[in-house]
Structure 1
Amino acid sequence: MSEVSQYSIPKLYQRKIDELLENELTEKEFSCRRILDVPTVTSVIDTGFPANEENNNRLYDMAVTDDNKVWMGGHSRELKLFDLQGHLNHTVNITGMLSCVYLCMYNQKVVYTDQPNKAVKMISETDTVVFTTGDWAPYGVTSAASGDLLVCLRKDDQSKVVRYSSTGTVLQKIQYDSWGQPLYRWAVYITENVNGDIIVTDWEKKAVIAVDRLGIFRYSYSGVTYSTVTTDSVGHVIITDLSWNKIHMLDRDGRFLRYIIPEGGIKNPRGVCILGDGEMMVGESLTEIAKRIKYQEE
């Protein structure tokens, strides 16, 4: 075992009682809303990303801003910012070779991972390197409630999740289970749920794997192939399944609830983000079309 310390003590943050009560009431109200039997596509965005010559993939990942716009990344050296009506608001050039783009919002700025240069970068006036990841190539990245960044890393046939501070200090490594066996084979996309679970899609295991804040195994959900993951405000786990044209919905403990398949279907879904009010944006990897989907009633 190359790394002895698997876990580190997480930061503790105080929250006011009224904030906790307000959050609990919001969750109860949201969870009482009915999931639509047939979700509807309320708008469509043509992102214009070109095709990868090898596998024809176009659209890889997306992240929603505080003002409900969506950054999207595809097979391109550009990131594009769209509003929900499909208008292109902004385009920025990114460095590095053409490769899969994984991104998230962090402190109201878009962050992406640069695999060829093994770096996590933030878009500002210049293309700022937040930190490098050594010999490990970064894949999925997400911002945590603690103010840290969680990054999926891969080297050879090994994968792990690392929690970084905003300056790139390693705060936590998650790689092995309680028996010393690797948790991941190929960790690709990552998100943090409202209960603190860290949820990762593993493209080699063809599963979604969840651990708690300490990195201790919680559950695994199998039966998905090339998948992406996000969560909504009440802890639903939303998983896109690129190969099987489905969107899976789990509860916060990893139990299957239902499929989210909009009217007219969804083709090769990959990138996904929650817009709020029971809506999500889902990108079709091969068509480069992004669909705004209403999946929960008002």
Structure 2
Amino acid sequence: MKEYVHRYEQLANKPVKFLLLMKKTPVQKKIELLDNIKCNFNKEISISDILNLLVEIKITEAGKRQVRNEHLFRLLKGAILNIKHVYVTNLYHGGHISFVTSDRLWVSDGRSLILTNSKGNNLHHLSDASEYYGVHTVNSAGELIYVDKDWNINKLSVDNTTKSTLIKRTDLWEPWCICHSASSRDLLVMMRYDTRNPAITLSDVKVIRYNSTLQPIQTVQYHRTGKPLYHDPVYITVNRNGDIVVSDIWNGVVVTDREGKYRFTYTGPPEGLSFGIFMPCGICVDTLLNILLSGRLDQTIQMINKDGLFLSILSTKQDGMVEPLGLGYDEENHLVWFGSGKTNRLCVYRHIERQDYLA
């Protein structure tokens, strides 16, 4: 089938030539008989043989045929840096990035939340967003969800005209960073006990999952040993396999599965590849389930796989990196955007390409 598809793609605009090619050089058919098939094809097939085969057929729910991403894409040997730079007007620095479309993204800098396009033009801005980092996300409808200065979680309509409160703060728990899961339509909120309370402890940090009707359905807070999972989280995201990925300044990148069970903690690259103190900040995930993260102190962009195995350092200070903070992944074009803690410049690079036969 792949050979037919490849030939068709090469001759899609020449159907007659394609049909002639198929007639002259047909794809060789290979018939493999399974061990559990009892029919003898060297003699006449009886009706009972056919019936015996038919009753073994299991009906499964029909689904859309698709090729898994690991067959469609592959990692480049080295990231192609500096595809372009985007300077966002009125932006102090790129603290966090949330994509609406490939040409529309929200960027925050602690002072304001700006909707910009791929050219850096301001399309809209909000001044009531929280000053912290991972405080906004975009849902499947393209609506902005963000934490305001009063620690309420609000939603802004796609046309930027209607604002509503989704989750109102009612106690001393503050939403610290948020993420919308496109697959489950859930909203994951990293909650932290009021930081103005001097009695704050390590256990005063937790992830709450809200379903599409904004009902809390899950709490992730402790390791299976009973110890707290999180200490000082700054960003949260959800991988395509359902894993909850949190960047914790002092703990590292903490990953739990869909049910909230601890999987692993990434605490930096292997010995000999370190560029300084590892302090994870911005995080995002790509189409291959890899986790990309920015190290603010060592000024690197690093990549690990879904199981926490170090893959590569995509960029360093020598590449022009200046305190990388926010990371965002353009799902349509498979580009990674990162913001700096020192400038209004957003950098764009590519680390994935489509396989040649499907390019």
TM-score normalized by structure 2? Answer: 0.69
Deviation, 1:35, is 1.7
Partner-residue secondary structure (3-state), 1:260: strand
Q: Which one-letter code corresponds to 1:118 in the other structure?
A: W
Alignment of 1:1-298 (within 5 A): 18-19=63-64, 21-24=65-68, 26-30=69-73, 33-49=74-90, 58-77=93-112, 79-84=113-118, 86-95=119-128, 98-100=131-133, 102-106=135-139, 107-114=141-148, 116-124=149-157, 125-133=161-169, 134-144=171-181, 145-155=183-193, 156-157=200-201, 158-205=204-251, 207-223=252-268, 224-261=278-315, 264-276=319-331, 277-298=333-354
Q: Which one-letter code corresponds to 1:274 in the other structure?
A: Y
Partner-residue secondary structure (3-state), 2:101: coil
Within 2, Cα distance between the matches of 1:296 and 1:94? 35
For the structure 1 residues 294 and 285, does the alpha-carbon distance in structure 2 shift closer, same or farther, using more than 3 Å as the test?
A: same
Where do 4+ consecutive residues of structure 1 move more than 6 Å? Answer: none
Deviation, 1:244, is 1.1
Deviation, 1:290, is 0.6
- Tell me which protein shows more strand as a share of its residues: 1
Give the fraction of aligned pairs with identical amino acids, expressed as a percent: 23
Deviations 1:245-266 (A, max 9, x none): 1011011111000011178332
Within 2, Cα distance between the matches of 1:89 and 1:286? 19
Deviations 1:144-184 (A, max 9, x none): 12111001111133211110124432111000111211111
For the structure 1 residues 147 and 96, does the alpha-carbon distance in structure 2 shift closer, same or farther, using more than 3 Å as the test?
A: closer
Structure 2 residues without counterparts, runs of 5 or longer: 1-59, 194-199, 269-277, 355-359
Within 2, Cα distance between the matches of 1:264 and 1:67? 24
Structure 1 residues without counterparts, runs of 5 or longer: 1-14, 52-57
Within 2, Cα distance between the matches of 1:218 and 1:101? 22
- Greater CA drift, 222-231 or 194-203: 222-231
Deviations 1:165-219 (A, max 9, x none): 24432111000111211111122211111111000011132x0000001100011
- Is the 8 Å Cα contact of residues 94 and 127 (structure 1) preserved in structure 2? no
Q: Which one-letter code corresponds to 2:70 in the other structure?
A: E
For the structure 1 residues 23 and 172, does the alpha-carbon distance in structure 2 shift closer, same or farther, using more than 3 Å as the test?
A: farther
Within 2, Cα distance between the matches of 1:275 and 1:96? 23
Give the CA RMSD over aligned residues: 2.3
TM-score normalized by structure 1? Answer: 0.83
- Is the 8 Å Cα contact of residues 233 and 246 (structure 2) preserved in structure 1? yes
Q: Which has the higher contact order (CA 8 A, sep 6+)?
A: 1
Within 2, Cα distance between the matches of 1:236 and 1:160? 24
